Amino acid sequence: MRVIFMGTPDFAVPALHALHAAGHDIVAVYTQPPRPAGRGKALRASPVHQAADKLGLPVRHPVSLRKNTEEWAVFDGFQADVAVVAAYGLILPQSMLDTPRLGCLNIHASLLPRWRGASPIQSAILAGDTESGVTIMQMEAGLDTGPMLLRGAVPITSQTTATSLHDALSALGGSLVVRTLTETPLPTPQPEDGVTYAQKLTREDGRINWQESASAIDRRIRALTPWPGTFTVLNDGMIIKIGAATPLPQFHHTARPGTLLDNTLTVACGEGAVRLTRLQKPGRGMMEAEAFLRGHSIPAGTVLLTAQDDDAPSAHSK
C-alpha cells in the first residue's frame, strides 16, 4: 500500500520500521520540526525523522496543520491508500483525515476506551491496572474516539516501569499495524462503558505525597520515571529526584509520613514505607542510594516535605 507515516518520538519508530520491512510504499513521513536540544541547544531532528533519513524516506515537518491549506494540498497529492499516525503531536484537520483512500489509522498505547488522551502509559501504571496494550483505531474528529480495528494486551506487573511498558507497547504497535493493513479487520465501535482519560502530565505530578500508601508511591515512581520524574524535598529546601524505590507495604510505624525511619533511606508513608534506592541531587547524575549517602548524609528522623506542607517549594523553585 501507499502509506503516509506520521509520528515523532521513539514510540513511533518501530512502527515505521515494521511498515517499511513489510514492503509498504511509504510515500512520505510527517514529524515534528527539529527542536533545540542539549546544552548547546543545537537543532535536533526527532527520532522518527532520524529513522526516516536512514531509510531514505522523504520527510515533511510542518509547524502546524491548522488552516494550512498548502500542506493539505501536498498531503492530498501523495494519493496515499492510508495514513498511519503514532504520537505525531499535531491534530489532523478533517480534510486530511478524509484524504487517504482507507482513512487514517492511529496506534494508541492503551486498551481503548480506557485511557484516551495524552499519557496512557503512565496513567495505567499509576492506577494500578494489571494490563495495558495497543489499540489500532480509525481516526475521527474526537479525542481517541474512533472505531477499533485490532487490539493487543501486555501485563503490568509490580516491576513494570513507564520505560519497560513504553518499549513493549511500541513493539506491539508496529506488529499490530502491519497486521491491520494485511487483514483489514472490520471496525468495532468503542463501548460507552469504561471510558477514562489520561491527562497531560506536568512536573508537579512527580511530587511525592508521603501521606499516600507505599504501594501508591511505588506506582508513581515507576510510572513517572523518566518523565516528568518524581521528587521530594528535604527540610532545608533541596529538591531530590527519585529514580527507584522498594515498597515495604507491611512495614509498621507510627511516624509522621515523610520521616526517615533509618539511615538507609527508608521513608514512612501513610501506609507502610518505601526504601529509596536511586536518587539525584541538584547538579549531579542519578546514583544508587549507597553512593548518594556517601556524599549527602540524611539521618534518621529527617522529614521529607509533602505537597501539603506550606513551606514545600514547587518543582521549578530549585
pLDDT score, position 40: 82
Residues 75 and 170 placed together within one structural domain of the fold:
yes
Q: Is the dihedral of CA 143, 80, 184, 21 positive or negative?
A: negative
Does the annotation flag 64 for ligand binding?
A: no
| Domain membership flag for residue 314 | no
Residues 68 and 177 placed together within one structural domain of the fold:
yes
Residues 144 and 277 placed together within one structural domain of the fold:
no
Tens of pLDDT, residue by residue over 101-131, are 999 999 999 999 999 999 999 999 999 999 9
Strand pairing partners for 29? 5, 59
Domain of residue 263, CATH code:
3.10.25.10
Other Cβ atoms less than 10 A from the Cβ of 239: the count is: 20
Does the annotation flag 93 for ligand binding?
A: no
pLDDT score, position 313: 52
Domain C-terminal end among 197, 221, 237: 197
Place 310 in a pLDDT band, splitting at 50, 70 and 90: very low
More confident residue, 296 or 287: 287
Give the integer Cα–Cα distance in Å for 86 and 108.
Answer: 7
Give the integer Cα–Cα distance in Å for 10 and 126.
Answer: 22
Residues 106 and 131 placed together within one structural domain of the fold:
yes
pLDDT score, position 309: 56
- Does 264 have pLDDT greater than 50? yes
Grid cell 499495524 — which residue?
177
Does the annotation flag 165 for ligand binding?
A: no
Tens of pLDDT, residue by residue over 27-80, are 999 999 999 988 788 999 999 999 999 999 999 999 999 999 999 999 999 999
- DSSP characters for 14-62? HHHHHHHHTT-EEEEEE-PPPEEETTTTEEE--HHHHHHHHHT--EE--
pTM over 0.85: yes
Residues 114 and 14 placed together within one structural domain of the fold:
yes
Residues 179 and 235 placed together within one structural domain of the fold:
no
Domain count, the chain: 2
- Does 316 have pLDDT greater than 80? no
Detail the DSSP E strand segments found in 76-220. Answer: 82-86, 104-108, 116-117, 131-138, 148-155, 197-198
Distances (CA, A) of 222 to 162, 167, 289: 6, 14, 17
Contacting residues for 206 by C-beta, under 8 A, at least 6 apart = 220, 224, 228, 229, 230, 231, 315
Torsion, CA 86, CA 89, CA 95, CA 100, rounded to 10: -20
Q: Fill in the DSSP letter of residue 222.
A: H
Range of the domain at 83: 2-197
| Domain membership flag for residue 150 | yes
Residues 65 and 175 placed together within one structural domain of the fold:
yes
pLDDT score, position 41: 85
Residues 210 and 235 placed together within one structural domain of the fold:
yes
Domain of residue 96, CATH code:
3.40.50.170
| Domain membership flag for residue 304 | no
Place 146 in a pLDDT band, splitting at 50, 70 and 90: very high
Closest CA to 229 of 207, 199, 258, 212: 207
Tens of pLDDT, residue by residue over 193-230, are 999 999 999 999 999 999 999 999 999 999 999 999 99
Closest CA to 210 of 288, 263, 266, 278: 266
Does the annotation flag 110 for ligand binding?
A: yes
